[in-house]
Amino acid sequence: MKYPTQKIALAYFACALVLFAAQVTFGLVVGYIYVDPNFLSELLPFNIARMIHTNALVVWLLLGFFGAAYYLIPEEAERDIESPKLAYAQLILLMVGASGAVIGYLFRIHEGREFLEQPLWVKLGIVVAALMFLYNVTMTVLKGRKTAVSNVLLLGLWGVALFFLFALYNPDNLTVDKIYWWYVVHIWVEGVWELVMAAVLAFLLLKLTGVDREVVEKWLYVIVALSLFTGLLGTGHHYYWIGTPAYWQWIGSIFSTLEVIPFFAMVVFAFVMVWKGSRDHPNKAALLWALGCATLAFFGAGVWGFMHTLSPVNYYTHGTQVTAAHGHLAFFGAYVSLNLAIMTYAFPYLRGREPYNQVMNMASFWLMSGGMAFMTFTLTFAGTIQTHLQRVNGEDFMSVQEQLALFYWMRLGSGVAVVVGALLFIYALAVPRREIVAPGETAGAVPAE
């Protein structure tokens, strides 16, 4: 850690991990309600539990992004964060909002649109927190060295804040409501968040592989260009069946199919940089998470997204468990893994140690990734059967769901693996014991070059 204010990241990451634990725990509850529908049905109905599961996810990912920014901006800008006090005040505001929202949800206090259930005061708090953040990091960057990594990261986070403003607009006409609801939901996860992802990934590869900055940054611009060129009009794949014009079926199908390309480019980018890199960085767990992030994002967002994005396919699969399968692997691969990668990389520096608990951390990677992959497969099978029985044969929704019970049991099992993996990950970072694997004699006593 070269700059003292990078330490801010530690507080953000710690809060993010607490919410991560809450998110997967509520995920387990929701998964259990699927197999035992009477469970807690009075105290904690499905809709409330799911709200906490999804909201906790979004908030902890954002806290992770903010933490990542506070960690890497000083190194990129070569100066300390403008105002650490403002950064901590921002964190307190976000945590008050997040805990207020969750407690409110338990008492049925919420707004009613999916993912945007936060009461108005929390939404406004998020806007204020975003402004505090943007002021702080923008000033830091403006007064310091400007790099592609910090430019793209800042642009992404400015986009996050700007598009969130559409969350405040809720017209009475459901079709119009949905058009702008997607301005937040789609343009976040398939637009500006990808900028954050590419920038953080570029930073990690820069540090872990030692590849020349010029090369990394050129890749970065190409990838984020591909993301926005495809992702903006790719919003069209949500405008097929909500009362919007038919031309979206063409635009959405074509551009959202092309959305696979930036994710593929990120995989190639990550692996090529590692192959070309000369640096033997001791933090192997961070490298595993970074490569895993690019790979799982390609499968979750890219391949599983493409599976049901063409409008003639989506006509049958829209709103089935196929969507749930895609959603889980896409979020895990792209954004959960990204956050866990930067945390794994930064924690040893933030705590002034050599990389520690590497084996435990890598075990948590395989446990979480394996669990999430299995969950994706089971939900894909469930969704395929559901599509046939319900959308082709026209069978009643509830009787179809009862026939899917086996898959929901298997999904619950994979969820247990994910929760255990998540707790293991948190333990590996939070409790630095003595486990430090000394680098062995590599077979290459012969120099690689």
Partner 1 sequence: MNEGLTKTQARNIFYGGSLFFLVIFVGLTVHSHLYALNTSTNNDQLTESVAAGKRVWEKHSCINCHTILGEGAYFAPEVGNVFVRYGGLDDPEGARETLRAWLVSQPSGVEGRRQMPNFNFSDQELDDLIAFLEWVSKIDTQNWPPNDAG
Quick count: other Cβ atoms within 10 Å of Cβ 303? 15
Residue 140 binds partner 1, judged by CB under 8 A: no
Q: Which of residues 341-400 bind partner 1 (CB under 8 A)?
A: 390-392, 394-398, 400
Q: Per CB under 8 A, which region of 60-68, 203-211, 230-238, 431-439 contacts partner 1?
A: 230-238
Residue 32 CB burial class (10 angstroms; 0-12, 13-18, ≥19): middle
Could you tell me the sign of the dihedral formed by the alpha carbons of 296, 314, 310, 228, in that order? negative
Give 129 or 294: the residue with its C-beta nearer to partner 1: 294
In angstroms, the CA 221 to CA 227 distance is 10
**DSSP state string for 322-350:** HHHHHHHHHIIIIIIHHHHHHHHHHHHHH
Q: How far apart, in whole angstroms, are the C-alpha atoms of residue 409 and residue 111?
A: 31
Q: Contact at 8 Å (CB) between 418 and 337?
A: no
Interface stretch with partner 1, choices 171-179, 282-290, 335-343, 364-372 (CB under 8 A): 171-179
- Residues of span 110-139 touching partner 1 by CB under 8 A: 110-114, 117
Which range in 96-104, 236-244, 335-343, 350-358 contacts partner 1 by CB under 8 A? Answer: 236-244
In the complex with partner 1, the residue whose CB is nearer, 148 or 287, is: 148
Nearer to partner 1, 352 or 394 (CB): 394
Q: Give, as ranges, the residues between 188 and 227 that touch partner 1 (CB under 8 A).
A: 214-215, 217-219, 221-222, 224-225
Residue 306 Cβ vs partner 1, minimum distance, rounded to whole Å: 18
Is there binding between residue 179 and partner 1 (CB under 8 A)?
A: yes
Q: How many CA atoms lie within 13 A of 313 on its CB side?
A: 15
- CA 290/CA 184 separation, integer angstroms: 26
Could you say which residues in the range 282-341 bind partner 1, by CB under 8 A?
315-316, 318-321, 323-324
Structure tokens at 383: 């969704």
The three-state secondary structure class of 107 is coil
Q: Does 51 help bind partner 1 (rule: CB under 8 A)?
A: yes
Question: Could you tell me which stretch among 15-23, 127-135, 173-181, 332-340 binds partner 1 (CB under 8 A)?
Answer: 173-181
As measured in angstroms, the least distance from the Cβ of 346 to partner 1 is 26
Between CA 332 and CA 156 the distance in angstroms is 19
**Given the rule CB under 8 A, which of 80-88, 106-114, 118-126, 293-301 is the region that contacts partner 1?**
106-114
Q: What is the DSSP letter of 166?
A: G
245-264: contacts with partner 1 (CB under 8 A) = 245-249, 251
Q: Report the number of secondary-structure helices (H) and strands (E) in the chain.
A: 18, 0
Q: In angstroms, what CA-CA distances link 332 with 21, 121, 338, 341, 348?
A: 14, 29, 9, 12, 23
CB of 318 to partner 1, least distance (A): 4
Cβ 151 to partner 1 shortest distance, Å? 8
Of 180 and 377, which has the nearer Cβ to partner 1? 180
